[in-house]
Amino acid sequence: MNEELVRPAVKDIPDYVPGKSAPGAIKLSSNENPFGPSPKALRAIAKAGKGLQAYPDQMSINLRQALASRFKLPVESFICGNGADDILQIIGETYIKAGDEVIVSKNVFSVYELIARLYDGELVFVPLRDFELDLNAIAAAVTPKTKIIFLTNPNNPTGTIFSASQFDAFMKIIPESVLVVVDEAYAEFSASKDFPKTIDYVKSGAKVLVIRTFSKYYGLAGLRAGYCIGRPELIAPMFKTKMPFNVNRLAQAGAIAALGDSVFLKKTYQNNLTEKTRLYREFESLGLEYKESEANFILVNIKRPAKDFCQELIGLGVSVRPLTSFGFPEAIRISIGTPTQNKKLIAALKKAL
């Protein structure tokens, strides 16, 4: 009976597969901040809790002002969401109509596909090339029906980036009619001088939307706060489709405080860089192939069934992500942890291999 009630598009939506938490195991499966939440955010959240009888500000004005001064853009260039996922849904709700072509890379973060399906878009998948987004092939897939292109930089689960010059060349050939969405959930971790300055495109009025989140770098995945940056004419209609109180009081207060927690952010950045190189060396000595990453995780080719391997690692006290649901049945994604966590990870890997 339900079968007849449910929209056809909904039936085709695959289940979202999250990174596993296992009791007693270190969680390196969801790219969370290994140091926990920003301490400044925690204090602000406790204080904001005293006002929880009241609805939050539906415009998230204080948070947007904090972001506006950070990025030197007008406040109208920002909209906040209940995580970056909420932003993706708001983009879908605002911009995708039935039959619009939506270009998504294959074997990446699954929410773009989910959103395209939810709004009856026509999915166009473009394969990765050597585990990297293939901007040339994506540009070649554009047709007069293309509405949105979803890009991820750095990419999840491969950790790779496309460079500023690659993005410049790409933007030159993408028609004005296409909306380019760049999900930069991990941008803060990148140390690359070649990382594209997407904000400059926003400033120059391009049809680009940039997505960021407080879930990864700022350590607030459980709080749910993300935002989108775009020229005001692109952002304004998104305020009509978002649910009125989509960002709760604790999230607004916590996110503002986290933005200013420079000690915590520096520690996060530095640890990620140092531990990343250490993990590369360890993988090399274990004979494991990996992809160099600009994010807080590393894709490792283990050349054996990833699901069983990850289950075994859980038994050894560490949870990492099998990339089976991403279409890489023999690869895993390891979130970079603290020095102590990474030592345990390496010990577990040695045993399991």
Ligand X SMILES: *Cc1c(COP(=O)(O)O)cnc(C)c1O
92 is an interface residue for ligand X by CB under 6 A: no
Considering only residues 32, 101, 183, 275, which one is a binding residue for ligand X as defined by CB under 6 A? Answer: 183
Q: Answer for the pair 126, 137: CB distance below 8 angstroms, yes or no.
A: yes
Residue 114 within binding range of ligand X, rule CB under 6 A:
no
Closest approach, Cβ 41 to ligand X, in A, equals 14
Stretch that binds ligand X, among 49-57, 77-85, 265-273, 334-342 (CB under 6 A): 77-85
Among 29, 105, 156, 246, binds ligand X (CB under 6 A): 156
Residues 38 and 46 sit within 8 Å (Cβ to Cβ): no
Name which position in 63, 73, 151, 185 contacts ligand X (CB under 6 A): 185
Minimum distance from residue 79 beta carbon to ligand X (Å): 13
The two structure tokens encoding residue 193: 């001088």
Contact with ligand X (CB under 6 A): which of 33, 105, 152, 293? 152
Instruction: Name the minimum Å distance from CB 228 to ligand X.
Output: 11
Choice between 225 and 279, CB closer to ligand X? 225
Answer for the pair 313, 334: CB distance below 8 angstroms, yes or no: no
User: Smallest gap, in angstroms, from Cβ of residue 195 to ligand X?
Assistant: 15
Binding of ligand X at residue 85 (CB under 6 A)?
Answer: yes
Q: Which is nearer to ligand X, 121 or 157 (CB)?
A: 157
Site for ligand X in 212-271 (CB under 6 A): 213, 215, 221, 226
Least CB distance to ligand X at residue 5 (A): 28
Angle at 336 between CA 332 and CA 342, to 5 degrees: 95
Sheet holding 179-183, edge to edge: 78-81, 226-229, 208-213, 179-183, 146-152, 101-105, 122-126
Cβ closest to ligand X, residue 85 vs residue 275: 85
Does 319 bind ligand X (CB under 6 A)? Our answer is: no
Residue 152 C-beta: closest distance to ligand X, Å: 5
First and final C-alpha spacing in the chain: 49
Order of strands, edge to edge, in the sheet holding 26-28? 26-28, 318-322, 331-335, 297-301, 289-290
Which of 26, 84, 138, 258 touches ligand X by CB under 6 A? Answer: 84
Give whichever of 185 and 348 is closer to ligand X, judged by the CB atom: 185
- Cβ of residue 353: shortest distance to ligand X, in angstroms? 27
Sign of the C-alpha dihedral computed for residues 48, 50, 56 and 59 taken in this order: negative
CA dihedral 126, 114, 117, 60 (to 10 degrees): -110
Tell me if 109 contacts ligand X by CB under 6 A: yes
Q: What angle do CA 202, 203, 205 make, to 5 degrees?
A: 65
Cβ 153 to ligand X, closest distance in Å? 9
331 phi, psi to nearest 5 deg: -130, 155
What does DSSP assign to residue 171?
Answer: H
3-state secondary structure 64-132: HHHHHHHHCCCHHHEEEECCHHHHHHHHHHHHCCCCCEEEEECCCCCHHHHHHHHCCCEEEEECCECCE
Nearer to ligand X by C-beta: 81 or 346?
A: 81
Residue whose CB is less far from ligand X, 212 or 249: 212
As given in the structure block, the two tokens for residue 146 are: 């293309």
- DSSP string spanning 38-72? -HHHHHHHHHHGGGTTSPPPTT-HHHHHHHHHHHT
Contact window for ligand X (CB under 6 A) among 83-91, 113-121, 131-139, 305-313: 83-91
Query: Token pair of 329, please?
Result: 């049945």
Shortest Å distance, C-beta 88 to ligand X: 7
Residues forming the site for ligand X (CB under 6 A): 83-85, 109, 152, 156, 183, 185, 213, 215, 221, 226
